[in-house]
Amino acid sequence: MGGPRWRRGLLWAALAATLGSAVLAPSEELKRPQPEAARPLDSTADPASRTNARTAADSRRTADSRAADSRAADSRAADSRAADSRAADSRAADSRGAADLRAAVDSRAAVVRLERVERRLEAGPVVDLFEARLPPPPPPAAPVKPTAPPLPFRYMGSVGEGREQKIYLVQGETMHEAMLGMSFAPNYRLDAVQPDELTITYLPLSIQQKLVTGGTR
């Protein structure tokens, strides 16, 4: 009889321990701290916490909006650069076309001028029938030979003989004394004494002139 009772007591003790563990497990689970992300928002939470949460959410929305604006600006800038590149290519093509057109026009004009010159050469010189027939120009005049001015002296007389002979000449109110081979007055020189004339040289032009005396004695 003692054996079965002992077994039943042991079974009841095991059952009681199992039930106790089942009852205590939920309490221990509730006592564990829950993660921040898993905790539900409590309507009775601190106002400062709620404000911080809203501020963080607003900051994320602002950052997302700025990122979207930046992407849109980059897209617009890329489109603008592409449009500018296409416009530059178009202008370059227009410039090359204009240059080719000018070159073709210049080449054609050069060909036309060359053809005109060839026709003129083949036709020979052009004679103007209405060209005025002018007489040939006269030959250039011979250069005028310089001459000495007329002698401004009057013969007054002489003293002595030979190379010692002195000849007296008057120029206005001035009396000059001249000897053979000597200059006087001061651009004149007495070169020869003849019975009826004197040979006087005008020194600036080396021109000899005759002064009639009517006799030196």
Q: How would you write the pLDDT of the chain (217 residues) with one tens digit per residue?
A: 455 666 777 777 777 777 766 555 555 554 555 544 444 444 455 677 778 888 888 888 888 888 888 888 888 888 888 888 888 888 888 788 788 888 887 888 888 888 887 777 777 666 666 666 778 888 888 888 899 999 999 999 999 888 889 999 999 999 999 999 999 998 999 999 998 999 999 999 999 999 999 754 4
Q: Which of 209, 214, 216, 170 has the alpha carbon at shortest distance from 193?
A: 216
For residue 196, what pLDDT is reported?
A: 92
What is the Cα–Cα distance from 171 to 186, expressed in whole angstroms? 12
pTM recorded for the entire structure: 0.37
For residue 216, what pLDDT is reported?
A: 45
Please, what sign has the CA dihedral across residues 93, 94, 96, 97?
A: positive
For residue 158, what pLDDT is reported?
A: 92
For residue 207, what pLDDT is reported?
A: 95
Contacts (Cβ under 8 Å, ≥6 apart) of 210: 197, 198, 199, 200
Q: Which of 159, 160, 149, 161 has the alpha carbon at shortest distance from 169?
A: 159
For residue 141, what pLDDT is reported?
A: 86
